[in-house]
Chain A
């Protein structure tokens, strides 16, 4: 054969290979999941940018609306869940016995409420954040159930969902979505509450580098008494780039079946009494290295992302509860007569309703705005918004339940009516999932325990970086002398 022909032939074979390979990739079907789970991101932060003087109008205006199809879908989900809660959930009994009956839990599992945000391919419903918030409005009718479900899916299995590998997802999510396995989130320790970064539970790597041995104890763990799967945070020794050994936090998927796990007795609580809360101790619990979520040493970030991604639903849960309270209280105020008039004709009673309506409106708006932002493509950073939703909703909820109880007076104070239970149940909102006290100061804190928020700290740094040292010195003393305290 002619050498030129050989070269030409080989070239055409190469070209042909490229052509066919493109065709092969073109015909490969790429099936995108219906709704993807968003992880944390770097760009497009609305509230954070406000601190820097930037208004990202596109984030808020127009207010995120969902499409008609999604609206119809949500409406078709709401009815069966509402029906279940009105007919099958005996909140008074749950509160009294400090236990959720197994039949009720099974009903919730069958309804599909244990895997609301787990993608369909893993057996969940794969719903968006907005839909999750909408269902949260109904689930909040019973505080204990709401907390049990949230501890399972909003934080318990979220780690696997947002930071887990494909193998971990395929292995654990199906049983978690069906409710066969219940999840829990183990971060808090006796010595580390708000200061989550100071946890002391240790995970030591074994000789053969295949297992971690977990040692330590966690407290206030919701579902801790019966959870089959836990997302546990522990300190692991990590060798840094500079060769220095550091103890950094790592996230682990720990199955109760691994052994070495003991759950304490359930705490006797003021509210959400049906939700199981207890201490969980780990005694040389063996965890395979495959069960590390994300990177070794990257656990703190995973924890913050998990907490940030679920926090916004507190707003819709709160507004759902307040709307129900308005309904119940209005019926009473419209029929109870004193001084010859219905209670509803008195100005101060009307003011209470106004306060409740305002709070419900604001909470709803904030929650769905944040959910809408998070549902948009591009994975925006909504940690600050979520914190704001939490602060407002927890305080607003507490005030509104108090007002509603006040309208009923003595009746509201008795156990014959659900108001005192709602009051006790909603007090926890100000405490758990990062306390409200901490959440509101964290934007001004460089060690933000309330999420990877840089907020004002970031603003301060940005300002400082652009100015010379001398100018900074001058500005500092100027402000000090004029009596204005600078926060930077």
Chain B
């Protein structure tokens, strides 16, 4: 019987139209609707399912960021997690926060909480990094099952079906391990209102990265953020020869 850490990230809601800040330093986040990263929802659902099947005993939801992330942790609690951990990061540290810092935090927490599994979403829909899970596994020197579309616990091992470019790959890794959830792993449940009310009584612990011995200094500096160029109208050609000629002319082939 074991403990699972699930990472949840508070991101701009997928339905919102993103706008770049006038100074091109980032995107507008003030007053914009935020919600849990969809892949993190799938990760939480998988962890709760494993608990319901009695493979694991406790699910701990973890999020890093300013006070607002507690809303995201509460949603995870309402979906069935037992308790939450809020790692406080704000201001400049929060803006510069990236997969490496998060991975360090999760690695430290996994050791501290003696977790058997760390389940994360495969990537966040705001930065699309797809690195945190892999980095966490590397820092812990644990096996990893990324892009998981099916997870089965088999004694001390985990069977993971991974979605890869060529199709599906099935691997068996020993616990403790890091898993990252892909789209088809499951369909997340709705946090029902009665569960939200019950979740209010669940505990969320507070801590700072320094408490875990993690330095938040970023090795990456964002120079500029731009919108993608507006789509230009296409050009119609009469024959295939014309097409080839045009493609050669603008250097495509």
Contacts and interface: CB of A to CB of B under 8 A. Distances in A.
Interface stretch (B146-154, B163-171, B177-185, B186-194): B186-194
B204 to A, nearest CB: 13
B190 A107 contact: yes
Given A76-B71, A83-B190, A125 B35 contact: no
A81 B196 CA distance: 12
A interface residue count range (under 10 / 10 to 19 / 20 to 34 / 35 or more):
10 to 19
Interface string B188-219: 00111110110010000000000000000000
A84 B190 CA distance: 8
Interface stretch (A108-116, A165-173, A337-345, A480-488): A108-116
B142 to A, nearest CB: 34
Contacts of B193: 77, 80-81, 111-113, 125
B190 A77 contact: no
A79 interface: yes
A94 B197 CA distance: 30
19 contacts: A75-B71, A76-B74, A76-B75, A76-B78, A79-B35, A79-B75, A80-B75, A80-B78, A80-B190, A80-B192, A80-B196, A81-B193, A83-B190, A107-B190, A110-B190, A112-B193, A120-B197, A125-B193, A125-B197
Nearest to B195: A112
Query: Which residue among B35, B75, B194 has the maximum number of chain A CB atoms within 10 Å of its CB?
Result: B194
Contact of B196 (A77, A83, A84, A107): A77
B15 to A, nearest CB: 8
Interface of B: 35, 71, 74-75, 78, 190-194, 196-197, 200
A25 to B, nearest CB: 29
Nearest to A110: B192
A153 B85 CA distance: 38
B196 to A, nearest CB: 5
B28 to A, nearest CB: 18
A111 B75 contact: no
Contacts of B192: 80, 110-112
A477 B182 CA distance: 85
Report whether over half of chain B's contact residues are helix, strand or loop; otherwise say mixed.
helix
A75 B34 CA distance: 12
Given A76-B71, A80-B192, A112-B194, 16 more contacts: A75-B71, A76-B78, A76-B196, A77-B193, A77-B196, A79-B75, A80-B75, A80-B190, A80-B191, A81-B193, A83-B190, A107-B190, A111-B190, A112-B193, A120-B197, A125-B193
Interface string A86-119: 0000000000000000000001001111000000
Contacts of A120: 197
A330 to B, nearest CB: 13
Interface in A453-475: none
A121 to B, nearest CB: 13
A298 to B, nearest CB: 34
A81 B75 CA distance: 13
A112 B35 CA distance: 21
A83 B193 CA distance: 12
Contacts of B74: 76
Contacts of A75: 71
Given A76-B71, A76-B74, A125 B194 contact: yes
Nearest to B71: A76
A110 B192 CA distance: 6
Nearest to B70: A72
A111 B190 CA distance: 8
A398 to B, nearest CB: 29
A367 to B, nearest CB: 20
Contacts of B197: 120, 125
B33 to A, nearest CB: 9
B74 to A, nearest CB: 6
A73 B74 CA distance: 11
Nearest to B74: A76
Contacts of A111: 190, 192-193
Across the A-B interface, the 5 shortest Cβ-Cβ residue pairs = A112-B193, A112-B194, A80-B191, A111-B192, A110-B192
A331 to B, nearest CB: 10
A394 to B, nearest CB: 28
Contacts of A125: 193-194, 197
Query: Which residue among A79, A111, A112, A125 has the maximum number of chain B CB atoms within 10 Å of its CB?
Result: A79
Query: Which residue among A107, A112, A120 has the maximum number of chain B CB atoms within 10 Å of its CB?
Result: A112
A76 B196 CA distance: 8
A235 B193 CA distance: 40
Interface string A39-80: 000000000000000000000000000000000010111011
A76 B197 CA distance: 9
